[in-house]
Chain A
Amino acid sequence: MEQQESGTSRRAFLERLGAVGGTAMVMAAMDAWHVPTASAATAPPALTGAGKGKTIVILGAGHAGQVAAFELNKLGYRCIVLEARGFAGGRVQTARRGFTATELGGETQRCDFDPGEYLNIGPWRIPFHHRSTLHYTKQFGVPLETMVNDNDAAWMQHNDGSGALKGKRVRQYEVKTDLRGRVNELIAKAATSGQLDQQVRAEDRELFLDYLASSGRLKKDLAYRGSDLRGYVKPPGAGDQPGTIDDPYGLSDLLQSHLWRDFQVGEYTHPLTMFQPVGGMDQIAKAFEKRNAPMLRFNCEVQQIRQTDKAVTVNYVDTKTGKTASVTGDFCLCTIPLSVLRSIDTPFSDDFRAAMDDATYVPVGKIGLQMKRRFWEEDDGIYGGHVKLDHPAIRQISLPSNNFQGQKGTLLGAYLLFDGATEVSAMSLKERIDYALAAGEAVFPGSYRANFERGFSWFWHLAKYNLGGWANWTAEARKDSYPKLLNADGRIYLAGEHLSYLGGWQAGAIESAWQQIEKIHQRAQQA
């Protein structure tokens, strides 16, 4: 079946990345192979001139739409933002007590977490290099806290391998340290027995061995016999307690366990330290909403878009009253996901429409579990980060980076993608929670189910105004279709994460908006 890839190892690598770090990580890795990765723009375009009383109709009050309104308004444009939902943010939403949502074909969920508990059901972490996102959090004074994106103390457990570590719950620092030590020992011994003389210059050899010995904690004879980096079976303490280090795991057991698969993590794309807004990711959306309020029209579902060579008219229905209305502007910036836009009555050319159809959207969802006691902290000393497991769909359980040492906590019990997401989203709400609890109980036996209080699950492919988590561009579509959508069709411009190489990230939506408003402004200035 998988005959096509130039390298199956690359595909396997991507699969594993996806399993470990989510699709965003896969996409980041893809970008590393094809194009520059990460956030390219650090500030909005420096635009001069004035909006001259021109009207811009913006469709969607997610980050792309809100950024455009915020920046264009400063230039004097009249901006009208039509938002189908009753609130701004697009996919940037946080489920907390009282939050109500209904999936297509599903029952209405009302989040009943305790006050202070929440789940970011959309984006949940901000890498330090997403300077566009951080530009607005700083400007708006949205308080950030550290999001612990990796934690060596977190458990890992794999049943898919064999050997002594199969099914054994181990700390990530044990596995990392032993793997490095075992591998460095082999390389160092090869180097001292002349086997690497072709590859390592004589004058480099000593430094090479120094590096291997220090990073692998090798002894003088270049053997690895364990290290304090892998933790203690008896920790050091006061008086006569020097601490006891356990024997390291054997290389064969480490390899056969498959645990090493979880360590192919990019340190730049998904850095150890990230940020999250205090109180939930929707704080960013709310900060925009507060400033853009006069421009925002909620519950306005776009029905039809029409354009002439002078203007764009958008017909919409007010979902509260059922009444239809229309707005006309000089230009339109449409941030509606392509999965949704393709079914709306639009005036796009056949070529443009075909390009839109070349993006497919990724099924994505999350399950949050409120626990009455932070047993991962109290019992195991794990503060944030991801527990890694080899469950068929749930590859990691992410522990909260807020309210450390508090009473309760809400963890991300499942971050599901692709067919893991389609399968679990077909379950009832209760079945979903049971599914997530079963996965967690295997790693936290006796604690996970016992401490569970309430759950909330949400799947973006079943969200009416999203129909998917984010756009998925194949290499071919990225080359042939994507560039067409960066240009206007008449007086209509598109923007959103789908028109960036930062797919699924907030930075993608923000920077896409920056790019497109510059084009609109330049054209408006010429008119």
Chain B
Amino acid sequence: MKVAVTLFALLVAAPCAAQDVAAGEVLYKQKCAACHQPTGKGVKGAFPALAGDALVLGDPALLSRMLLVGKGGMPTFKRLMTDQQIADVLSFVRSSFGNSAAPVLPDVVAAMRATLPASGGPTGPLGN
């Protein structure tokens, strides 16, 4: 099943840029590691562990939504990351810290982004 999913993922990913787990690792350090920790173990009571987390390992669309929209202390990355970057970092997280789930495709992120309201609020990328 997993092989099939992976194959399917590769096929679907082919037309657009494939997710880049190495790039995802760099992004993880920049955007995620401060809270979820370099180990992916999080901080109890504040930042959820990503290792073995149901949301992390589950539906890529719902996982993408968490990055795009945020919740509580988890900021929105809607304006801060491209679909490709979100796919990269999620693919890294899903294959690290003992996790072993299929990569997330940029198309999945794009599709989720398209369902969100047009205005994402007053956040904006400050890193360029």
Asked whether, in the complex, the Cβ of A338 is within 8 Å of the Cβ of B72, the reply is yes
Q: A5–B78 Cα gap in the complex (Å)?
A: 12
Size of the A side of the interface (Cβ < 8 Å), in residues, is 54
Size of the B side of the interface (Cβ < 8 Å), in residues, is 41
The residue that B73 contacts in the complex, of A461, A475, A476, A478, with Cβ under 8 A, is A461
Q: A468–B32 Cα gap in the complex (Å)?
A: 14
State which residues 78-128 of B face A: CB under 8 Å. Answer: 79-83, 113, 116-128
CB distance from A438 to the nearest CB of B (A): 16
Asked whether, in the complex, the Cβ of B75 is within 8 Å of the Cβ of A420, the reply is no
Asked whether, in the complex, the Cβ of A363 is within 8 Å of the Cβ of B75, the reply is yes
Asked whether, in the complex, the Cβ of A462 is within 8 Å of the Cβ of B80, the reply is no
Closest residue of chain B to A358, judged by CB? B71
Q: Is A464 part of the contact surface with B, judged by Cβ < 8 Å?
A: yes
What sequence of 0s and 1s flags, for each residue 78-105 of chain A, a beta carbon within 8 Å of any chain B beta carbon?
0000000000000000000000000011
Q: Is A393 part of the contact surface with B, judged by Cβ < 8 Å?
A: yes
Asked whether, in the complex, the Cβ of B118 is within 8 Å of the Cβ of A361, the reply is no
> Known contacts A339-B73, A360-B74, A419-B30; is A1 also within 8 Å of B83 by CB?
yes
Asked whether, in the complex, the Cβ of B119 is within 8 Å of the Cβ of A14, the reply is no
Contacts of B31 in A (CB 8 A): 419, 422-423
Contacts of A468 in B (CB 8 A): 72-73, 75
Q: Is A202 part of the contact surface with B, judged by Cβ < 8 Å?
A: no
> Known contacts A23-B122, A27-B122, A426-B30; is A360 also within 8 Å of B70 by CB?
yes
CB distance from A460 to the nearest CB of B (A): 10
Asked whether, in the complex, the Cβ of A360 is within 8 Å of the Cβ of B30, the reply is no
Asked whether, in the complex, the Cβ of A4 is within 8 Å of the Cβ of B80, the reply is no
Closest residue of chain B to A105, judged by CB? B43
State which residues 424-463 of A face B: CB under 8 Å. Answer: 425-426, 459, 461-462
CB distance from B81 to the nearest CB of A (A): 8
> Known contacts A361-B75, A468-B75, A472-B121; is A462 also within 8 Å of B34 by CB?
yes
Contacts of A476 in B (CB 8 A): 117, 119, 121
Closest residue of chain B to A393, judged by CB? B127
The residue that B46 contacts in the complex, of A23, A422, A464, A477, with Cβ under 8 A, is A464
Q: Is B76 part of the contact surface with A, judged by Cβ < 8 Å?
A: yes
Asked whether, in the complex, the Cβ of A19 is within 8 Å of the Cβ of B126, the reply is yes
CB distance from B124 to the nearest CB of A (A): 4
CB distance from B16 to the nearest CB of A (A): 13
The residue that B127 contacts in the complex, of A4, A361, A419, A473, with Cβ under 8 A, is A419
Contacts of B69 in A (CB 8 A): 360
Asked whether, in the complex, the Cβ of B121 is within 8 Å of the Cβ of A418, the reply is no
Q: Is A156 part of the contact surface with B, judged by Cβ < 8 Å?
A: no
Contacts of B43 in A (CB 8 A): 104-105
Asked whether, in the complex, the Cβ of A343 is within 8 Å of the Cβ of B126, the reply is no
Q: Is B45 part of the contact surface with A, judged by Cβ < 8 Å?
A: yes
Closest residue of chain B to A395, judged by CB? B126
Q: Is A362 part of the contact surface with B, judged by Cβ < 8 Å?
A: yes
Asked whether, in the complex, the Cβ of B120 is within 8 Å of the Cβ of A474, the reply is yes
Asked whether, in the complex, the Cβ of A475 is within 8 Å of the Cβ of B121, the reply is yes
CB distance from A330 to the nearest CB of B (A): 29
Q: Is A332 part of the contact surface with B, judged by Cβ < 8 Å?
A: no
> Known contacts A6-B118, A422-B30, A476-B119; is A15 also within 8 Å of B124 by CB?
yes
Report which A residues bind B (CB closer than 8 A): 1-2, 4-6, 11, 14-15, 17-19, 23, 26-27, 29-30, 104-105, 338-340, 342-343, 356-357, 359-363, 392-393, 395, 417-420, 422-423, 425-426, 459, 461-462, 464, 467-468, 472-478
8 A-B pairs in the complex with CB atoms less than 8 angstroms apart:
A1-B82, A4-B116, A11-B79, A23-B122, A26-B122, A359-B72, A418-B125, A419-B81
Closest 10 CB pairs of A and B: A474-B121, A467-B73, A360-B70, A15-B124, A426-B34, A339-B73, A425-B34, A4-B118, A475-B119, A30-B122
